[in-house]
């Protein structure tokens, strides 16, 4: 056998192996870069959401607590505890990289709603119907939806209204529903997220919808009618329990 041919073949094989090694290395680096970009996007999404939620709420909560200090000093310490727990929950949310138990989300929502009930008084009623809670979902999923129900729903209704949070199991799905009997808004399509007069969408809803799909393959739909109210429905696979 021609030794030149053998040497040429060996060089070709070595070259091909080298190309494969280089390609594998490049693919690995590309995957690592994509993971880093996804992580940066996730953190950016969370930061944007928190920045949307906090400013007006922090101001309103502190104002309400200040009024309590003057009018009901015995209730003020409890309000401060709720306020502290709410802030701590937001900071924990920034550190969370995976879906969290629903019970943790619900506790965070309850801190938020208690503070809002201090501000709105009898104009804000809250109801819970929790039939399922052994499941996971992206952090800060429920609270932005509830905040919209308060801020854009019952908060804009002269006589106030009710926010209701419920969970149930429907066959192989977990269903979370947040509904209010506030002023509602026009929705052209179920999947359409309305835009406010200032050009912004309702607080965090686009972000919530994106993270639900990306992290747990969940869906979110919005139904609303003027002067009737709004229903936001989240559906998750029961396998994410």
Rounded to whole angstroms, the Cα distance separating 111 from 105 reads 10
Rounded to whole angstroms, the Cα distance separating 124 from 114 reads 10
Compute how many other C-beta atoms are within 10 angstroms of the C-beta atom of residue 199: 6
At residue 198, φ and ψ (nearest 5 deg) are: -85, 5
124-130 and 161-170 beta bridge pairing:
parallel
Length of the chain, in residues: 241
Note the pLDDT of residue 113.
93
pLDDT, tens digit (0-9, with 9 covering 90-100), for 76-107:
888 888 888 887 777 776 667 788 999 999 99
Can you give the pLDDT of all 241 residues of the chain as single tens digits? Answer: 555 555 555 555 566 555 655 665 555 655 565 555 555 545 555 555 555 555 667 777 778 878 878 888 888 888 888 888 887 777 776 667 788 999 999 999 999 999 899 889 899 999 999 999 999 999 889 998 998 899 888 988 889 999 999 999 998 899 999 999 999 877 664 444 444 444 444 556 878 888 899 889 999 999 988 888 999 999 998 765 5
* Selection from 207, 229, 203 nearest residue 220 by Cα: 207
CATH fold of 42-240, please? Heat Shock Protein 90 (3.30.565)
Residue with tokens 């992580």, as numbered in its chain: 39
Secondary structure element (H or E) that encloses residue 63, with its range = helix 3-71
Query: Which residues, 6+ apart, have CB-to-CB distance to 157 below 8 Å?
Result: 181, 182, 183
pLDDT, tens digit (0-9, with 9 covering 90-100), for 41-67:
455 555 555 555 556 677 777 788 788
Taking the complete model, does pTM exceed 0.85, yes or no?
no
Note the pLDDT of residue 124.
94
Residue 203 Cα distances to 1, 6, 149, 170, angstroms: 76, 69, 10, 28
Note the pLDDT of residue 98.
84
């Amino acid at each position: 056998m021609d030794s030149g041919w053998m040497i040429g073949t060996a060089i070709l094989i070595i070259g091909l192996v080298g190309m494969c090694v280089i390609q594998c290395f490049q693919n690995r680096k590309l995957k690592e870069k994509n993971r880093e970009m996804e992580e940066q996007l996730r953190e950016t999404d969370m930061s944007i959401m928190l920045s949307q939620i906090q400013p007006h709420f922090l101001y309103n909560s502190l104002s309400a607590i200040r009024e309590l200090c003057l009018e009901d000093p015995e209730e003020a310490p409890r309000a401060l505890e709720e306020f502290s727990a709410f802030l701590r929950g937001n900071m924990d949310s920034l550190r969370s990289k995976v879906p969290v138990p629903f019970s943790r989300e619900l506790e965070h929502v309850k801190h938020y709603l208690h503070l809002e009930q201090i501000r709105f008084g009898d104009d804000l009623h809250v109801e819970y119907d929790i039939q399922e809670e052994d499941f996971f979902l992206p952090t800060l999923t429920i609270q932005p939806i509830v905040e919209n129900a308060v801020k854009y729903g019952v908060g804009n209704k002269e006589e106030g209204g009710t926010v209701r949070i419920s969970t149930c199991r429907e066959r192989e799905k977990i269903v979370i529903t947040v509904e209010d009997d506030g002023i509602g808004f026009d929705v052209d399509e179920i999947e359409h997220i309305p835009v406010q007069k200032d050009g912004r969408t309702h607080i965090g809803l686009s972000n919530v919808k994106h993270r639900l799909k990306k992290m747990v393959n969940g869906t979110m739909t919005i139904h609303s009618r003027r002067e009737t109210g709004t229903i936001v429905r989240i559906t998750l696979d029961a396998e994410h329990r």
